[in-house]
């Protein structure tokens, strides 16, 4: 019998598909890496299993950071397995190649990335043919917008054909290859350009990443260049028979001009403002007013970008966090529809589903929202309207809305995001909010004062948001919109009780937050406030809703931006990159709107309106031009807006100015005529100095320790940087200080700790421990007046594997033998972050890593010593190869010769634990046979791993499925609770 292979994107989705198909296709048997019944084999990837690479004959490994072999534009791409998931790829390919498997179903996430994941696996299984063709077996597409069992069954009833998916497949491949071409060639070319003067200065660029960065840099440039101007407003208070109201002076004849800061209510001269205030004070005023009703519809349904912006503004969630929470609510809890969408409308046949969703919400346990759902059903609010139901505005996916499944066991963050989506979903069906807007003009002599009132008449959809929305329309001050106005009778004259000028200053544009940057990416940098117009622009945006969070995180990781509170601030490295690209005239990577056009072309390709060949030809031309510009640039510096340091040249006292590559002395006259030759690189070892850091370095002759440096081999390191005098050159030069502190020992220079407070007693000799350079040292480990010859060896770095060790932590280690759990160590071998304690190892005589205790059937591995000094990059790299492996708790003491020879005493055979019958709930998971608790735990772990129930964000947590919930008694437990819980299901076995 022939079978159909279903390939999902993640194990959890494969399980959902199996559960949904079981009632209609029969029971599935579970195997190590797949499920199978008479009709289907269901397996899954774990995200991307395969990635593209240039064929060996077209790529270069040696010398790739030079211009010699650029550009690299291969005629086709090879495939290579992702290292971490090779075993999973082998398992999926094994099923795909089975002779009884005659058809494949792509069940990866509905979208461009899901399409690419499947296509690359299928091509790899067929031998990675250059034409992109894979196994040659028929392929169909499962397209899921919701993960409920019925939605999955419906999806299998309406599978899409290979031909229907061709446009999306072409766009997916083209996006991947375009990013490779621009990213690889651009990064190598810019790195080669920046490394011309020696050293290694990694300069990453990307097709979408760099134009996004240009938005942030351009905004920061406007802020830096902004010159604040003083202006005045005239505020007045008027007394009518019914009470008082406020007003603000304005010029009725004012018209917009070229001055963007000019407004009808602004005066640029204090004397003018004072004259108006004095003229009207105490005078009578005539009043005219106009009142008209107005309404405000609720915002549109959420797509991913608008959800990320709202969650960032309301809760401070990063775009990455919001996407992860939405994905969890979709995948794990089945509570939201597919989140990676750019649509804000629903299909026209979705009206019954919307009504059913309101029915679910009305009967759910959410007491704060259920009454509004009931109100909508009773009031027949759920009606067909083009604003909500519009097929022309639904692309591959529709808007994010709640599913028919009421969630339980949500984390606090998940609950916040779910509430946000539910409120928006309900609000869009509720009536518009209705206001009465009154504009009142009080005329005093020949001066006009405007007062605007906005009174909420019927809350409509705002009722769902309660006080949060009401705050927006409550009484405002100074005559702005929102105040409840006291009535004025027709023909009544009011009195100007007071009038005062108010001095203000114009403000620069605000820095981007993640919310506003996401909006700018969506509209390719164009300032569009109207959300419906922005929706029309989003096909020309930077990236897609699914990739924007990763782009922002990538810029933060590469230190092109810093996150301060909710603001995103570009670094000196970002400014230097933009200066380079502008100087080279590589416009495609500088202008967001041009790169937005590439995204538009990809969306046209998805619809079959543009050929893949034409798009890739354009990308190849762009790549060639970018490399050519960098390779052929022959001027000494790049033109740019450069800084002048406030600190003087240490050699001659002259002015120090910035150029593209260096900070250099230009002499006391500042024109270079009497320059002394002093200069230092802006980006030593690949880390770019901020202007303030360069100033401090000149002023203090030393700065640090600083993180972010990289050796020529690419290893990260931390060091102090100093400006030291070079006797041979008769000038100052920049030098790294790695904190070995050997100079003091060799030169006999004495260290004075008299002005320091000790952190505690040395664990070696008991003497006080102090800060010294980039280390914590025993006072007897360096030459001092009391002891010129060091007698102790204790020393520990203030930064270890990129983890800062604060004074309080070192004090704790000295007092108790161990720090708190520190979570910012970065392995130099794998470059992955890890958590560990720092602990004093008495036997080894040094500070070692100690890892969290975890339940394991394996004996602990041995520890390696924590690097105690921030040594030089070469030493660091060499040590990393030997030591940066996952380490365990203790360092074993060396065995004596006698101990080695002595035979080990034979151990008595262990008495097997008596088995006990599991409860009915546990038997449903591990079977009814009597077992000991260790056997039960092992079987339980086999089940947990087979079904992928370890939490994606916290591997120590286990998520309950339908079988485990009766055993656990809740939706999630930790691995540490497992043995105790199973004991209760084995007759209370101890």
Q: For residue 239, what are the β-bridge partners?
A: 244, 495
CA distance 143 to 395: 12
Integer angstrom CA distances of residue 661 from 485, 638, 696: 62, 9, 18
Q: Which of 40, 338, 435, 770 is catalytic?
A: 338
- If one counts every other C-beta atom within 10 angstroms of the C-beta of residue 34, the result is 22
Q: Judge if the upstream peptide bond of residue 705 is cis by omega within 30 degrees of 0.
A: yes
CA distance 338 to 359: 21
Q: Which two tokens stand for residue 360?
A: 């679910």
C-alpha gyration radius of the chain: 34
Integer angstrom CA distances of residue 462 from 130, 301, 303, 308, 466: 57, 15, 20, 21, 7
Q: What is the 3-state secondary structure (H, E, C) of 316-346?
A: CCCHHHHHHHHHHHHHCCCCECCCCCCCCCE
CA distance 219 to 216: 5
Cα torsion 169, 172, 176, 178 to 10°: value is 100
- Residue owning tokens 């660091």: 876
List helix spans (H) across 429-485: 467-470
Integer angstrom CA distances of residue 113 from 34, 43, 421, 592: 22, 18, 24, 22
Q: Which two tokens stand for residue 310?
A: 């709202």
Strands 803-804 and 822-826: unpaired
Q: Phi first, then psi: what are they for 877, rounded to 5°?
A: -65, -45
Using CA of residue 147, residue 553, residue 540, residue 187, what is the dihedral sign? negative
Q: Which two tokens stand for residue 361?
A: 């919400």
Show Cβ contacts of residue 629 under 8 Å, excluding neighbours closer than 6 positions: 584, 585, 586
Identify the DSSP state of 587.
Answer: G
Closest by CA to 680, choosing from 714, 709, 651, 713, is 651
Q: Is 987 exposed, middle or buried (0-12, 13-18, 19+ CB in 10 A)?
A: exposed
Q: Phi first, then psi: what are they for 618, rounded to 5°?
A: -65, -40
Show Cβ contacts of residue 220 under 8 Å, excluding neighbours closer than 6 positions: 511, 569, 570, 575
* Active-site residue flag, 498: no
Q: Is 748 exposed, middle or buried (0-12, 13-18, 19+ CB in 10 A)?
A: exposed
Active site residues: 338
């Amino acid at each position: 019998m022939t079978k159909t292979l279903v390939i999902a994107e993640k194990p959890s989705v494969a399980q959902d598909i199996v559960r949904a198909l079981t009632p209609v296709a029969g029971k599935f048997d579970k195997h190590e890496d797949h499920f199978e019944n008479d009709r289907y084999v269901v397996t899954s990837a774990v995200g991307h299993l395969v990635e593209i690479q240039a064929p060996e004959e077209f790529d270069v490994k040696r010398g790739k950071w030079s211009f010699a072999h650029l550009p690299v534009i291969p005629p086709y791409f090879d495939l290579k397995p992702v290292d971490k998931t090779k075993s999973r790829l082998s398992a999926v390919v094994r099923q795909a190649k089975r002779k009884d498997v005659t058809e494949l179903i792509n069940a990866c996430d509905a979208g461009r990335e899901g399409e690419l994941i499947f296509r690359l696996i299928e091509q790899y299984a067929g031998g990675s043919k250059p034409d992109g063709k894979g196994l040659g077996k028929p392929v169909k597409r499962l397209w899921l917008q919701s993960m409920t069992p019925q939605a999955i069954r419906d999806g299998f009833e309406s599978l899409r054909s290979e031909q229907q998916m061709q446009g999306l497949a072409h766009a997916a491949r083209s996006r991947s290859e375009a990013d490779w071409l621009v990213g690889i060639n651009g990064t190598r070319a810019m790195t080669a350009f920046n490394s011309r003067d020696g050293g290694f200065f990694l300069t990453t660029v990307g097709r979408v990443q760099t134009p996004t960065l240009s938005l942030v840099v351009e905004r920061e440039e406007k802020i830096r260049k902004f010159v604040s101007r003083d202006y005045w407003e005239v505020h007045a208070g008027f007394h009518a028979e019914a009470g008082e109201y406020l007003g603000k002076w304005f010029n009725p004849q004012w018209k917009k001009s070229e001055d963007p800061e000019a407004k009808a209510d602004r005066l640029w001269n204090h004397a003018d403002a004072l004259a108006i205030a004095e003229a009207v004070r105490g005078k009578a005023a005539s009043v005219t007013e106009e009142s008209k009703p107005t309404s405000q519809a609720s915002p549109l349904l959420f797509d991913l970008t608008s959800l990320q912006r709202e969650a960032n503004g309301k809760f401070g969630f990063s775009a990455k966090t919001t996407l992860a929470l939405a994905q969890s609510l979709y995948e794990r809890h089945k509570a939201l529809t597919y989140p990676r969408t750019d649509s804000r409308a629903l299909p026209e046949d979705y009206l019954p589903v919307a009504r059913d969703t309101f029915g679910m919400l009305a009967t759910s346990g959410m007491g704060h929202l259920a009454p509004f759902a009931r109100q909508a059903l009773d009031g027949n609010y759920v009606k067909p309207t083009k604003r909500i139901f519009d097929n022309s505005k639904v692309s591959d996916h529709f808007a994010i809305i709640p599913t028919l499944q009421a969630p339980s066991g949500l984390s606090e963050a998940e609950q916040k995001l779910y509430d946000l989506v539910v409120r928006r979903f309900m609000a869009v069906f509720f009536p518009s909010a209705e206001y009465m807007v009154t504009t009142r003009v009080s005329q005093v002599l020949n001066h006009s004062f405007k007062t605007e009132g906005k009174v909420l008449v019927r809350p409509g959809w705002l009722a769902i948001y309660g006080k949060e929305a009401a705050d927006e329309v409550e009484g405002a001050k100074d005559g702005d919109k929102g105040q409840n106005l006291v009535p004025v009778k027709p023909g009544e004259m009011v009195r100007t009780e007071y009038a005062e000028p108010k001095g203000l200053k114009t403000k620069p544009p605000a820095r981007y937050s993640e919310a506003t940057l996401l909006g700018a990416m969506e509209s390719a940098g164009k300032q569009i406030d109207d959300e419906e117009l922005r929706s029309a622009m989003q096909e020309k945006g930077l990236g897609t809703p699914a990739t924007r969070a990763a782009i922002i995180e990538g810029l933060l990781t590469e230190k092109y931006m810093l996150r301060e509170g909710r603001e995103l601030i570009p670094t000196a490295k970002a400014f230097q990159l933009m200066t380079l690209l502008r100087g080279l005239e590589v416009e495609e990577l500088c202008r967001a709107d041009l790169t937005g056009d590439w995204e538009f072309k990809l969306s046209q390709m998805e619809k079959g309106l543009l050929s893949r060949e034409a798009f890739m030809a354009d990308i190849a031309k762009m790549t060639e031009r970018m490399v050519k510009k960098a390779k052929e640039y022959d001027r000494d510096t790049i033109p740019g807006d450069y800084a002048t340091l406030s600190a003087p040249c240490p050699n001659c006292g002259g002015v120090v100015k910035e150029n593209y590559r260096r900070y250099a002395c230009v002499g006391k006259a500042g024109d270079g005529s009497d320059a002394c030759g002093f200069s230092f690189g802006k980006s030593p070892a690949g880390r770019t100095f901020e202007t303030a850091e360069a100033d401090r370095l000149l002023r203090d002759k030393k700065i640090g320790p600083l993180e972010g440096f990289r050796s020529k081999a690419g290893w990260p390191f931390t060091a102090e940087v100093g400006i030291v005098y070079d006797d041979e050159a008769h000038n100052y030069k920049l030098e790294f200080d790695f904190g070995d502190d050997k100079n003091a020992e060799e030169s006999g220079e004495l260290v004075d700790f008299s002005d320091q407070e000790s952190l505690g007693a040395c664990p070696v000799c008991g003497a006080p421990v102090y800060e010294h350079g980039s280390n914590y040292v025993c006072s007897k480990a360096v030459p001092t007046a009391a002891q010129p010859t060091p007698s102790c060896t204790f020393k520990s770095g203030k930064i270890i594997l990129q983890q800062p060790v604060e004074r309080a932590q070192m004090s704790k280690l000295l007092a108790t033998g161990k720090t708190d759990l520190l979570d910012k160590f970065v392995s130099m071998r794998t470059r992955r972050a890890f958590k560990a304690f720092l602990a004093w190892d008495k036997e080894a005589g040094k500070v070692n890593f100690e890892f969290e205790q975890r339940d394991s059937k394996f004996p602990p591995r041995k520890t390696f010593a924590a690097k105690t000094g921030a040594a030089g990059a070469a030493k660091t790299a060499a040590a990393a190869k030997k030591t940066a492996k996952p380490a365990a708790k203790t360092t074993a003491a060396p065995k004596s010769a006698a101990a080695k020879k002595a035979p080990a005493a034979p151990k008595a055979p262990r008495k097997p634990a008596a088995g006990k019958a599991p409860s009915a709930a546990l038997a449903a998971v591990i079977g009814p046979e009597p077992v000991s608790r260790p056997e039960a735990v092992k079987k339980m772990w086999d089940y947990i791993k087979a079904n992928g129930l370890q939490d994606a964000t916290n591997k120590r947590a286990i998520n309950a499925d339908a079988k485990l919930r009766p055993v656990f008694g809740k939706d999630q437990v930790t691995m540490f609770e497992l043995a105790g819980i199973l004991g209760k299901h084995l007759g209370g076995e101890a």
